[in-house]
Structure 1
Amino acid sequence: MSLNKRYFDMLGAAYDVPSEAGQFDAFLEAAMTYFFAGSDSGDLAEDVPRHDGDDDMLETHAERISALVEAASRREAAFAERFHAVLDISVRTGQVSGNAAASQLTGRHFPCALDDVPLDPAALSEIRRVMRAATFQAQDRIILASIETAQARACLALIQRPKDSEDLLHVSLSYVDWSAGLMARLGEAFGLTASETEILEAYLGNLSQKDIASQRGRSLETVKGQSKSILRKTGCARMSDVVQLSASIAYLMRQLPERETPPSAELWQTPRRSLSTLSRPGGRELAWYRMGTGSRPVLFIHGYLQGPFLTQAMLAGLAAGGIHFIAPSRPGFGYTSPSKSRTDFDRTVVEDALALLDHLGVERISLCIHQGGSSHGFRIARALGDRVGELLVIGGGVPIDESIHIAHMDRQTRFAAMATRHAPSVMKMAMSLGLPVYRRRGTRAFLAAQYARSKVDLATLDDPELLRVQSEGLYHAVEQGAEAWLRDGAAAMADWSEDLDAVTCPQTWLQGADCTIISAHQVADHMAHRPGVDVHVIETCGSAILHTQTALICRHLARLA
């Protein structure tokens, strides 16, 4: 396939993402094909152009597509909010207040009287019955209600009488779009005939049996007979129970209006616990974390996704060893201000770290370097010179040789490595499209895609604490958007051999044998025969080594500090 064909396939797939988030996977596949021309060997296609900086044409497309993605997200959020109306009703006065969604759904300005809310008489009667109750309602009520405006809508109404409020009644209204596709799935789930499915749809529209018979041109007895059949097949005693069962299934299917999959409930917010800041020249702020309670400091240079947040087992190990981590966030990560440009990113990382140690009055210190922080850790160690004690490198990387290292990497890492090195505009496009998609899918889906080739890493996602700390690491990496990841990736993919060679202090490397980011054995080979360097390849351990080998790591840290 020609370069032009691969290029336009990738671009076309990118333009599909704003209209359908599920197309991101097709875009990623097209982007991989653009670089590797369908080869699984990891060899870059010979015809791929290599850009030292941005591709202006692709940047223009990326900006346009990103704007479309953001507009689609705003429309989705506004549309979703429209159908989650909340009414607060004063039991004493009958006055009703509501959110913006309630105003849009009912066509009313709040506050107003309960009688002015265009609900059907049966729903209003049920609300008044709950208002008259002498005590709070322990059992929430769910009823089907109709909004009787020019465009009548059947809604689910959740009625709640809070225990801690004597004068307040909450009514939440959610409009369910009983689409043809959803009705077909309900009918199939219940074993209904096509005619019975249509009868059920009419009930879900809050029609009476008489109205249904009139609408369908059938006798009332025919509708009653079909209704009994629906009750029998669903196992319900009353049609109101069928309505509630159908609504429950609809929500389980996530079939709210025009939304196949609801956004994840995750906030994607970097934690602030143990956070401090240091003012830097040019109005920048350096954010850093103190992790652990011990008196002996170790400078921790975090990776991309698994730092600087730690498990309770790691924190306990630090405490037992009398150690604490000083963990600065790199520019654009977490709450640290970005560097002024891509070209001064590496220098800013080093200057920030040295300024922080000077601020804290630390003269001599050992370093714990993790994964994607490897290039930065060695640059910092080189700048510290005689102030460096020893290094503990966890899942560390080495300067990338495309002819040796790329083939071992999982497909996502391989793509990120090649895009960052040869076409940063493609990487930027992938990040700008991928982040909104994975904010919707959730961090577990993101991490599962990263760990697809490693069973031991996939297993960590079943542990709530390991999933939490890895998710927090992801939030930290993308708190300020995709640009920081792009700059940091470029630093890792650069040739930092001089920094690696210049650091001659004692070093211990702990590499997971099942790591799919870079081969542990290739790292061991690269570091072999260097004086003072001790490499350990840990079997049955992958990319999540920082969180799964805490006892081993803490033993080395205690000696290091």
Structure 2
Amino acid sequence: MSHSQRYFEMLGAAYEVPSGPDRFDAFLAAAMAYFFEDEAEGLLAGDVPRYKGDDKTLDTHGQRIGALIEEASRRGSEKSERFHAVLDISARSELVTGNTAAAHLTDRDFPCHLCDLPLDPEAISEIRKSLRSGEHQPQDRIILASVGERQVQACLALIQRPKDIADRVQVSLSYIDWSDALMTRLGEAFGLTHSETEILEGYLANLSQKEIAQQRDRSLETIKGQSKAILRKTGCARMSDVVQLCASIAFLMRQLPEQETPPSAETWMTPKENLSLLPRLKGRKLAWYTAGDGEKPVLFIHGYLQGPFFTPAFRRALAQINVRLIAPSRPGFGYTSPSPSDSDFNETVVRDALALVDHLGLEKISLCVHQGGTSHGFRIARALGRRMGDMLVIGGGIPIDEKVHLSHMDRQTRFAAMATRHAPSVMKMVTSIGLPVYRRRGTRAFLEKQFSKSPADLATLSNSTLMKVQAEGLYHAVEQGAGAWVRDGAAAMADWTDDLEAVDCRQIWLQANDDSIISAQDVAACITKRTNAEFHILDGHGTNILHTAVEDITDALARLQ
């Protein structure tokens, strides 16, 4: 597939996300496919362009889609009304009235005429049959109806001619979201092949065999043959029976849209305990935290999701070694003001750190740098010059070589690395769309996705203390939106080799053996050749090394001078 085709596939998938948060994963897959010829091996497609600046068109799409998702979330509390609609229809005049849900679903003001409803012709025909019957129907009629004009939805329609209501027919409409997850479960339950499951999805969308054939670019005979297989495997005589069976299963599984992804009750707010603010130039403010109250100050440069917040056990250990961590938030993270522009982000990080050291009156200070903060830590260390003490690097990164390091990264990190380098606007789009999705799904869902390839990290989510501190780190990363994350990713992916080489202080590196962000062996290959670096790989730890290797970290902090 060409670059332009992959681009529009990605954009099309992005516009599907507002219709259901479950579609974000399909969009993310399309975004990854935009970059990689072979995702499993981390092979970058040869035709991926490299943008020096932003793609303004893509930025506009991302902002628009993000706004649509936010609006969909805002209306979440109203969803249940929109999908349980009741229409009341006069047999004599075909005049229709309905409840609030019916008005939402049909986008009509009542009363209106039956022919004005946005129902498909077959559904209108079935309703008119009941209207013409002239008497109570002992057998309710259940059909699949297409509702809507701009966005057509497949609904179950229950048509009734109540015995105690003269001259009336009632139609109840319920919308089922045939999500990818639900279709997978239906296919597995009936033993359908992947192709048969996709054909079933076409019937559930109220498409004809001819329309399904056109949609799938297959012959009508092929669709008919696979339809017979569906009937055989489900034990049904007619496809309408299969539709009703699937609808029954969907209701039993409670897969209505408002129940499938309920809005999270979680409030995403960065903690303010132990927070201080330092006024900066042009009205900016630098937010910084302290951990511990020891006499030995260490400047802590946080990573993305595991800092600058610490477990009670870590704080107790700091007290024992008489260390006080001073942890500034980078521009746009937490409560620190953003940098004036993208181009001076790295310089602003360094200037803020030096201003904080001056404000505290520190003539010399050691550094503790963590994960995504590594490149910034070396820039700061270089700028400190003779005021620089020792350095502890926890789960540190290194300058990325696309040909060497990509294949060892987990898929999220690999994607972020390449999006940041080659198409930052794609990264902006993913974060601006993903953030409202995960605010709805909740922190646990985000972290489970982030750690999906790391059993050691997934296990930490079962510990309420570790879960809490990681959630706080996530809030800190996106307190002001996704912009800082994108800028920070660009800083980590830039070539900061000169800064690494320029820092000659004593360094202690602690690397997790099971780190899914970057291979410990790749980091070792870069660092162990340095005469001023002491390098350790810690078994049994993953991305969460900051919280799980407390004893090793505090032992190293105690040795800093």
TM-score by length of 2: 0.69
Partner of 2:386: 386
SS at 2:327 equivalent: strand
Does the 8 A contact of 2:69 with 2:437 survive in 1? no
1:439 equivalent to 2:439? Answer yes
**Deviations, residues 230-254 of structure 1 (Å, cap 9, x unaligned):** xxxxxxxxxxxxxxxxxxxx99959
Whether the 8 Å contact between 1:254 and 1:261 is mirrored in structure 2 is no
Q: Corresponding residue for 1:508?
A: 508
2:28–2:430 contact (8 Å) kept in structure 1: yes
**1:551 maps to what in 2?**
551
In structure 1, the residue matched to 2:232 is none
Q: CA deviation at 1:559?
A: 1.5
Superposition map of 1:273-288 within 5 A: 273-288=273-288
In structure 1, distance between residues paired with 2:507 and 2:457: 25
Q: CA deviation at 1:385?
A: 0.6
Distance in structure 2 (CA, Å) of the matches to 1:46 and 1:337: 38
CA contact (8 A) 1:457 1:544 kept: yes
Corresponding residue number in structure 2 for 1:35: 35
- Structure-2 change in CA distance of 1:295 and 1:4 (3 Å): same
The question of 1:7 aligning with 2:7 is answered yes
Name the CA distance, whole Å, in 2 between partners of 1:544 and 1:297.
Answer: 23
Can you list the C-alpha shifts for 1:505-559, whole angstroms capped at 9, x where unaligned? Answer: 0000000000010111110110122112011011111110000000111111111
Counterpart residue number, 1:163: none
Q: Paired residue for 2:308? A: 308
Aligned to 1:426: 426
CA distance in 2, matches of 1:317, 1:453: 30
Shift of 1:152: 9.1
Tell me the equivalent position of 2:399.
399
Give the distance between the partners of 2:346 and 2:98, measured in 1 at CA: 61
CA spacing shift, 1:469–1:81, aligned 2, 3 Å: farther
CA shift digits 1:82-135 (9 cap, x unpaired): 99xxxxxxxxxxxxxxxxxxxxxxxxxxxxxxxxxxxxxxxxxxxxxxxxxxxx
1:212 CA drift (Å): 8.6
The amino acid of 2:68's aligned partner reads: L
Distance 1:331 1:259 in 2: 38
**Are 2:368 and 1:342 equivalent residues in the alignment?**
no
Is the 1:279–1:285 contact (alpha carbons within 8 Å) kept by the matching residues of 2? yes
State the distance in 2 between where 1:531 and 1:321 align: 27
Q: Secondary structure at the match of 2:316?
A: helix
Aligned AA for 2:358?
D
User: What is the letter of the counterpart of residue 402 of structure 2?
Assistant: E
CA displacement at 1:67 relative to structure 2: 2.6
Offset, 1:293: 2.1
8 Å CA contact 1:410, 1:516 repeated in 2: yes
CA distance in 2, matches of 1:82, 1:413: 40
TM-aligned CA distance change 1:348 to 1:398, over 3 Å: same
> How far has the Cα of 1:39 moved from its partner?
3.5
**Structure-2 residue corresponding to 1:370:** 370
Measure how far apart 1:456 and its partner are: 0.6
Name the residue aligned to 1:59. 59
Give the match's secondary structure for 1:485: helix
- State the Cα distance separating 1:215 from its structure 2 match: 6.4
1:452 matched to which residue of 2?
452
Aligned counterpart, 1:333? 333
Unaligned runs of 5+ in 2: 83-96, 102-137, 143-160, 168-250
Who is 2:484 aligned against? Answer: 484
1:473 aligns with 2:461: no
1:57-96 aligned at under 5 Å gives the runs 57-76=57-76, 79=78
Cα distance 1:151–1:380, how it changes in 2: closer, same or farther (>3 A)?
Answer: same
Paired with 2:489 and 2:364, the residues of 1 have a C-alpha distance of 29
Q: 1:339 to 1:539 in 2, by over 3 A?
A: same
CA deviation map 1:466-493 (0-9, x unaligned): 1111111010000000110000000000
Q: Deviations over 1:31-84 (max 9, x none)?
A: 01110034321121000111011112222322222232233233335x27999x
Q: 1:319 to 1:44 in 2, by over 3 A?
A: same
Match of 1:356 in 2: 356
List per-residue Cα deviations over 1:247-292 (Å, max 9, x = no partner): xxx999596x845321111111100000000000010000000111
CA contact (8 A) 1:10 1:27 kept: yes
Matching residue of 1:21 = 21
Q: Which residue of 2 aligns with 1:127?
A: none
Q: 1:21, CA displacement in angstroms?
A: 1.4
Counterparts of 1:206-221 in structure 2, within 5 Å, are 214=164
Residue 234 of structure 1 is matched in structure 2 by none
- CA deviation digits over 1:370-419, x for unaligned, max 9? 00000000000000011111000000000001111111111111101100
Q: Distance in 2 between matches of 1:368 and 1:436?
A: 32
Q: Which moved more, 1:417-426 or 1:441-450?
A: 441-450
- Distance in 2, Cα, partners of 1:216 & 1:252: 36
Distance, in Å, in 1 between the alignment partners of 2:438 and 2:259 is: 16
In structure 1, C-alpha distance between the alignment counterparts of 2:258 and 2:165, rounded to whole Å: 26
CA RMSD of aligned residues (A): 2.7
Distance 2:462 2:26 in 1: 27
SS at match of 2:396: coil
Contact 2:37–2:43 (CA<8 Å) still a contact in 1? no
Label 1:251 to 1:303 Cα distance change in 2 as closer, same or farther (>3 A): farther
- The equivalent residue for 2:522 is 522
- Three-state SS of the structure 2 residue aligned to 1:64 is helix
- In structure 2, the CA distance between the partners of 1:466 and 1:252, relative to structure 1 (3 Å rule), is farther
Alpha-carbon spacing, 1:195–1:539, altered in 2? closer, same or farther (3 Å) = farther
Inter-partner Cα distance in structure 1 for 2:46 and 2:98: 63
Which letter maps to 2:360?
L
C-alpha separation in 2, matches of 1:544 and 1:555: 17
Residue pair 2:76, 2:263 contacting (<8 A) in 1 also: no
* Aligned residue identity for 1:317: A
The code of the aligned residue for 1:274 comes to N
Is residue 2:297 matched to residue 1:320?
Answer: no
CA distance in 1, matches of 2:27, 2:441: 16
1:152 to 1:36, Cα distance in 2 relative to 1, 3 A: closer
- Equivalence for 1:48: 48
Counterpart contact for 1:254–1:262, Cα < 8 Å: no
Partner Cα separation in structure 1 for residue 9 and residue 360 of structure 2? 53
Local SS of the residue matching 2:43: coil
Call closer, same or farther: CA 1:260–1:216 in 2, change over 3 Å. Answer: farther
Percent identity, aligned pairs only, is 61
Following superposition, the deviation at residue 449 of structure 1 comes to 1.1
> Structure 2: how far apart are the matches of 1:304 and 1:424?
18
Go from structure 1 to structure 2 and tell me whether the alpha carbon gap of 1:404 and 1:152 turns closer, same or farther (over 3 Å shift).
Answer: closer
Question: How many Å separate the matches in 2 of 1:152 and 1:483?
Answer: 39
Contact 1:321 1:554 in 2 (8 A): yes
Cα separation, partners in 2 of 1:388 and 1:4, compared to 1, 3 Å:
same
Shift of 1:150: 9.1
Which whole-Å CA distance do the structure 1 matches of 2:301 and 2:382 have between them? 14
- C-alpha distance in structure 2 between counterparts of 1:39 and 1:450, whole Å: 17
2:502 maps to amino acid: A
Gaps of 5+ in 1: 84-148, 154-193, 199-210, 218-249
Could you say which residue in structure 1 is the equivalent of 2:289? 289
Provide the aligned length of Structure 1 versus Structure 2.
411
- Where do 1:101-120 residues align within 5 Å? none
Q: What do residues 286-308 of structure 1 show as CA deviations (whole Å, max 9, x unaligned)?
A: 00001112121110000000000
Say which SS state the counterpart of residue 465 (structure 2) adopts. helix
Give how far 1:311 is off: 0.5
The Cα of 1:195 is off from its aligned counterpart by: 9.0
Query: Contact 1:506/1:532 (CA < 8 Å) preserved in 2?
Result: yes
* Structure 1 residues 81 and 276: alpha-carbon distance in aligned structure 2, compared to 1, 3 A threshold: farther
Say if 1:333 and 1:480, in contact at 8 Å, map to a contact too: yes
